């Protein structure tokens, strides 16, 4: 079954440089049947968006700033989101912003049974991040679509988070939560539970394209590949070392 997504972008709060990579990322989770971006298009700071909107079929929504000091773009996005929710035309939402003002909206959409994906910069406040089912930092989308060697060359150390002891403990406890009597846990279940515990958990934040090589790089865990009776791809299991 195709998952239909409404993509709503806060044009005042997100840089235009990686919109192509962003749309490719969103396509992994469903079909973006509604794509809208909100802002005052009479303002010069939004000029960079205009070309990429045509290339990616994103519909610009004009929103004038009626009152100084108030963000009318936020209000327009929230009103549209609720209209789309009640139209029952989508199965989930992708809210693209680094603004904590959308925290209540994300919470309300999830209460209605919607899957909510957030995309924003690393400066995004925690309340908005944890209000989403999944949160993706736009910085990790740099260079997407290029070969792995090129990606590694272009990745700046400042863009990659360190695997701290806190991260290791999170992974370890999650493995224990879903492990069998022998301590082995299916990696797919581990990844799903990590996402539920911490919506912004993403191996790409630590310089790894996938969870498997990330866990393999940590000497606290061991990995085992098993034959898959139902498909050609092997099943990956992981457990905490004694």
Residue 180: which CATH number?
A: 3.30.420.610
Sheet holding 235-240, edge to edge: 185-186, 235-240, 221-226
Q: Look at residues 153, 188, 208 and tell me which one is the last residue of a structural domain.
A: 153
CA atoms within 13 A on the CB side of 3: 14
What are the pLDDT digits (tens) for 96-139?
999 999 999 999 999 999 999 999 999 999 999 999 999 999 99
pTM as predicted: 0.86
Structurally, the chain folds into a number of domains equal to: 2
Q: Look at residues 87, 122, 153 and tell me which one is the last residue of a structural domain.
A: 153
What are the pLDDT digits (tens) for 43-72?
887 888 887 888 888 999 988 765 554 456
Burial class (CB in 10 A: 0-12, 13-18, 19+), 149: exposed
For the four alpha carbons of 179, 234, 200 and 86, in that order, the dihedral sign comes to negative
The torsion of the CA quartet 168, 190, 5, 125, rounded to 10 degrees, works out to: -20
Bridge partners, residue 6, by sequence = 34, 93
Residue corresponding to tokens 């299916």: 186
123 shares its domain with 164: no
Q: Look at residues 153, 171, 187 and tell me which one is the last residue of a structural domain.
A: 153
- What confidence category does residue 93 fall into, taking pLDDT thresholds of 50, 70 and 90? very high
110 shares its domain with 179: no
216 shares its domain with 124: no
130 shares its domain with 180: no
> For residue 232, what are the domain limits?
160-240
What are the pLDDT digits (tens) for 64-74?
765 554 456 68
Give the pLDDT of residue 2: 86
125 shares its domain with 9: yes
Segment among 128-132, 146-150, 198-202 with least mean pLDDT = 146-150
């Amino acid at each position: 079954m195709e998952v239909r997504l409404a993509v709503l972008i806060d044009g005042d709060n997100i840089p235009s440089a990686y919109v192509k990579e962003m749309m490719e990322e969103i396509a992994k989770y469903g079909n973006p049947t509604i794509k809208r971006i909100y802002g005052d298009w009479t303002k010069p700071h939004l000029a960079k968006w205009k070309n990429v909107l045509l290339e990616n079929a994103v519909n610009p929504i004009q929103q004038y700033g009626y009152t100084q000091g108030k963000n009318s773009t936020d209000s327009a996005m929230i009103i549209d989101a609720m209209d789309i929710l009640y139209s029952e035309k989508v199965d989930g939402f992708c809210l693209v912003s680094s603004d904590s003002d959308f925290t209540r909206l994300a919470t309300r959409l999830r209460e209605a049974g919607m899957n909510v994906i957030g995309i924003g910069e690393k400066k995004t406040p925690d309340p908005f991040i944890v209000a989403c089912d999944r949160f993706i930092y736009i910085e990790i989308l740099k260079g997407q679509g290029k070969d792995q060697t090129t990606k590694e060359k272009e990745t700046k150390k400042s863009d990659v988070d360190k695997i701290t002891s806190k991260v290791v403990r999170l992974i370890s406890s999650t493995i224990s939560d879903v492990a069998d009597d022998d301590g082995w846990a299916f990696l797919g279940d581990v990844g799903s539970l990590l996402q539920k515990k911490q919506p912004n958990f993403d191996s790409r934040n630590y310089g790894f394209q996938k969870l498997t090589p990330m866990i393999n790089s940590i000497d606290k865990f061991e990995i085992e590949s098993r034959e898959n009776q139902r498909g050609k791809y092997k099943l990956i299991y992981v457990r905490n070392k004694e």
